[in-house]
Chain A
Amino acid sequence: MIWLGIETANAPLSVAVVKDGKVVAEVIQNIKLTHSAGAMPAIENILANAGIKTNELDAIAVSEGPGSYTGVRIGVTLAKTLAWTLQKPLVGVSSLKALAANAALYDGLICPIFDARRNNVYTAVYNGAGFDVVVADYHDHIDGLLNRLKAFESPILFIGADVDIFWDKIIEVLGDYALRAPFSDDLPRASEVIRLASMRDLPSVEAIHHFIPQYKRIAEAEANWLKEQKEKAHE
């Protein structure tokens, strides 16, 4: 069973090839190269290095978001088009869950964070022991998240390259309950995307056309439009 994994949901890029439960090759980088230019060549290179031809792939795993809208869409578009034209199943995995999985052996609460700009975050809370969802993936203001986390009254491991942006605030609210994952766990890994995907039943190839990103946030224009409709209804 050969998997290709693609992770471009935020600034970092990761692609991996996993064969029969072993990582054959993986690239993890956080450089200033846009995914639009860099992701496809990275896939081409990793398959070439792994000596795998596209028709040898059995399934494709992709990080489906949340994250940068454009980043998520590039990974999903590449994965969808590859899966569809190769007629191989496509499995989507939460970008937050894949990041949290870097700390899967941690026995306690894990909080992955992606910066969503203007003091907003995409986040979730997982329980490391069984990897259960404690707070499902969502979009929140950092203050909203921290208030929620405070109520747990328990140590929480923060993970992700974007955690540093909010670290002072996190410490301020959670004090000693705030734990920081080692920097080497901060970048998402496509091999984790594949590992989580491989735990699921493979969907049919007919499902590929209907695969959509998980933005966890409606478009701003739509939010404004809905607000206007609500106001009109009140008048």
Chain B
Amino acid sequence: MGEFIMDNLVILAIESSCDETAAAIIRNGSEIISNVVASQIESHKRFGGVVPEIASRHHVEQITVVIEEALAKANMKPADLDAVAVTEGPGLVGALLIGINAAKAFAFANNLPILGVHHIAGHIYANALVQPMEFPLLALVVSGGHTELVYMKEHGSFEVIGETRDDAAGEAYDKVARVLGLPYPGGPRIDQLAHEGEEAVVFPRVWLEEDSYDFSFSGLKSAVINYKHNMDQRGEEISPTAVAKGFQESVVEVLTAKTLRAARQYNVKQVIAAGGVAANKGLRTSLEVTFADEGIPFYVPPLKLCTDNAAMIGAAAAPMFEAGKRGNLTMNGRPGMELKSWVE
């Protein structure tokens, strides 16, 4: 991993910031020994979204099971570990607390150091599990809760150069899916419909100020709602595929264009996409084509490393551990935690 020489650093990582209870064992921040995710999607479906209290209840039921499974699949004992890493924030506070308290109890009982990891740093470092990260690097983080452009000049250095001013991209996907009457989670369904569509309803692109790397998706979401409303009033049927295609084109065009402009300005050696929406086929294809033309290496992790998982937390924790970062048993959940560099 670049300038870090890791000699068999084995980390147990735990993630419970939203609706997945996950544990993984990672060697040297780059090798997945085991990666276990207990998803709650089925349980939240009937509510049309993640219910925090229900998520917390599931986490407490699953937490020791997933940790045990991660150890069993890795054929390891606590004595084989060097540290415990856990998502400290951001996320749902009640959900975060289950992973954090389990991590603290496990670390204490087994006399291991503990590290609190930022969830977005985790998403970015999911890429380190696929190929070495090359700096300077630009990461486009897109998920249900985040839309950010992050510039990294080296390991542990994060500069958020752009972020959403209202809805996260994934949030807009879920809301538009609801307008179209698609079941939760709607993002993957819209992606699918967009590919089935021949024609697209044209929706606006929101660019904000000329030099801004920020995003805004609430206007686009409203445009879709207004379109449906107008069509309903006229008694006309909408084409879900055309709406999905038009919506997706707008999101993808803006994300791609801003990522490209930032990659040029910051002269990066690598561009990576991360987060649940990075699994979106339309976005992936657009970024792949764009950066192939530009001649900048572009990577996106496989689907199971894009959605929430603990392997990415272990990947981010490894360079933190090497940099001497340590948490302690007073660690608390930080629902609004900011992405901060751990190097000067």
In the complex, the answer to whether A221 meets B105 with C-beta atoms within 8 Å is: no
Looking at chain A's contact residues, is the secondary structure mostly helix, strand, loop, or mixed? helix
A81 touches B61 (CB 8 A): no
A222 beta carbon closer than 8 Å to chain B: yes
Do B54 and A78 touch (CB < 8 A)? no
Question: Would A36 and B65 be within 8 Å (CB), given that A70-B56, A85-B106 are in contact?
Answer: no
* Most-contacted residue by chain B among A34, A78, A81 (CB, 10 A): A81
State whether A36 touches B97 (Cβ < 8 A): yes
What residues of A have a CB within 8 angstroms of the CB of B97 in the complex? 36, 70, 73-74, 77
Q: Which residues of B contact A30 (CB under 8 A)?
A: none
A97 in contact (CB, < 8 A): no
Q: Counting CB contacts under 8 A, is A166 at the interface? A: no
Q: Are B53 and A77 in contact (CB under 8 A)?
A: no
The answer for the CA separation of A46 and B298 in the assembled complex, in Å, is 52
Interface residues of A in 197-226 (CB under 8 A from B): 208-209, 212-213, 215, 219-222, 225
Chain A residues with Cβ below 8 Å from B60 are 73, 76-77, 80, 212-213
CA gap between A70 and B335 in the complex, in Å: 14
Which residues of chain B from 115 to 135 have any CB-CB distance to chain A below 8 Å in the complex?
none
Task: Summarize B's interface: helix, strand, loop or mixed.
Answer: helix
The answer to whether A78 and B47 touch across the interface, beta carbons within 8 angstroms, is no
Report if A82-B109 is in contact (Cβ < 8 Å); known contacts: A40-B329, A70-B97, A73-B98: yes
Cα distance A34–B334 in the bound complex, in angstroms = 13
**Residue count of chain A within 8 Å CB distance of chain B:** 33
Q: Distance (Å) between the CB of A33 and the closest chain B CB?
A: 10
Q: Does A86 contact B (CB under 8 A)?
A: yes
Is A84 located at the chain interface by the 8 A CB criterion? yes
Interface hub of B63, B65, B105, B333 (most chain A Cβ within 10 A): B105
The interface bits of chain A over 148-171 (1 if a CB of B lies within 8 angstroms of the residue's CB, else 0) are 000000000000000000000000
Residue numbers in B under 8 Å from A78 (CB-CB): 101-102, 104-105
Can you name 5 A-B residue pairings with CB atoms under 8 Å?
A40-B330, A81-B102, A85-B106, A215-B57, A219-B54
- B residues whose Cβ falls under 8 Å from a Cβ of A: 46-47, 51, 53-54, 56-57, 60-61, 63-65, 67-68, 78, 94, 97-98, 100-102, 104-106, 108-110, 329-333
Please report A residues at the B interface, Cβ cutoff 8 Å. 34, 36-41, 43-44, 54, 69-70, 73-74, 76-78, 80-82, 84-86, 208-209, 212-213, 215, 219-222, 225
Q: Which 8 interchain pairs have the tightest Cβ spacing?
A: A81-B105, A221-B51, A219-B53, A77-B101, A37-B332, A40-B329, A40-B104, A81-B102
